[in-house]
Amino acid sequence: MRVLGIETSCDETGVAIYDDGRGSGAGLLAHRLYSQIDMHADYGGVVPELASRDHIRKLVPLVREVMAEAGCEPADIDGIAYTAGPGLAGALLTGALMARALAYAWGVPAVPVHHMEGHLLAPLLEPEPPAFPFVALLVSGGHTQLMRVDGIGRYELLGESIDDAAGEAFDKVAKMLGLNYPGGPEVSRRAQQGRDDAFAFPRPMLDRPGLDFSFSGLKTAVLTAREQTADYPEKVADICASFEAAAVDTLIRKCIRALKQTGLKRIVLAGGVSANRRLRADMAAALRGMGGQAFYPAPAFCTDNGAMIAFAGCQRLRAGETVGLGVSVRARWPMTELSAID
């Protein structure tokens, strides 16, 4: 089955074609991704209306490019998958309408895909995918969740952030430090030049049982450090390094706690923050002592992309899931509401 995937949940337009006849590690025939970072940089964050308009401008050219790269004609496509949520409603609608229109014109089924399920399944695109069951840390600008995953659609929420997502905390720290947009990568870049023990930032909620996260207090500690540091401009790298160390340490220790609680040894890290180099290195070190194993998407598929939507959509189309001509999207959509695939 060849599936065209369309991702437009926020500020990146992704289009890809996945062929499950080639196996998960070799099934991606083509993919394109257009980022709106430069456009939103002037505003210091995503402007929803501008994001929606830009998706409209980019979708048709990207679909044409992907079809040409894959050597596909409309008759070669067996289904179309699109991100239906969660995300910005206007942005989601642009991709959903495009996908449904193409599906109708080409006479193929369409299937809505949960954005975070796409992220969760992205490591299955790799040559050595993780086997079920595993624990998943979904960590991005909008989500920080720990899930037990027993199969596609078989998700148990173990813990989540009660306030800011981890990626959101990175971005807000960057903004309060006056760093460039997008903030997360900039904080990590500055952190490489600083001392991670320069500031004693808290590791939120590690002194409590459970697997929930909180990053608002850590963010406040960074603001306090900025305001109370006389030579603050010279200490930006140290603040970034100390903040990143605290955030990563919190994530890893909750992941290890989740593995011990579930008795599992495999963990998947997915979402934009999973590309963080310190997170990957420290996670490997933490797992070494317990015989655990971590799985990640390729760096290109950590951020929003069409490949993960094409792959996830292919699994659901194979299970017989489709939608009619009506189009609906969900800005909020719990993953635990998804149906299981046998």
Q: Is 206 annotated as a binding residue?
A: no
Under DSSP, the state recorded for 71 is: T
Q: Is 141 annotated as a binding residue?
A: yes
Q: Is 120 annotated as a binding residue?
A: no
Query: C-alpha distances in angstroms, 99 versus 7, 85, 226, 303, 338?
Result: 10, 14, 47, 21, 20
Q: Is 140 annotated as a binding residue?
A: yes
The torsion angles phi and psi of 69, rounded to 5 degrees, stand at -65, -40
| 62 exposure class (CB count in 10 Å sphere: 0-12, 13-18, 19+) | buried
Q: Is 138 annotated as a binding residue?
A: yes
Which H or E run contains 335? none
Q: Is 119 annotated as a binding residue?
A: yes
Q: Is 143 annotated as a binding residue?
A: no
- Give the contacts of 281 (CB within 8 A, at least 6 positions apart): none
Q: Is 276 annotated as a binding residue?
A: yes
Number of CB atoms found within 10 A of residue 45's CB? 13
Query: C-alpha distances in angstroms, 55 versus 34, 88, 91, 300?
Result: 9, 12, 7, 19
- Length in residues, the chain: 342
C-beta of residue 295 within 8 angstroms of C-beta of residue 126: yes
What is the token pair recorded at 119? Answer: 């992220």
Binding site: what residues are annotated?
A: 115, 119, 138-142, 171, 184, 276, 304
Binding site for Fe cation: what residues are annotated?
A: 115, 119, 304
Binding site for substrate: what residues are annotated?
A: 138-142, 171, 184, 276
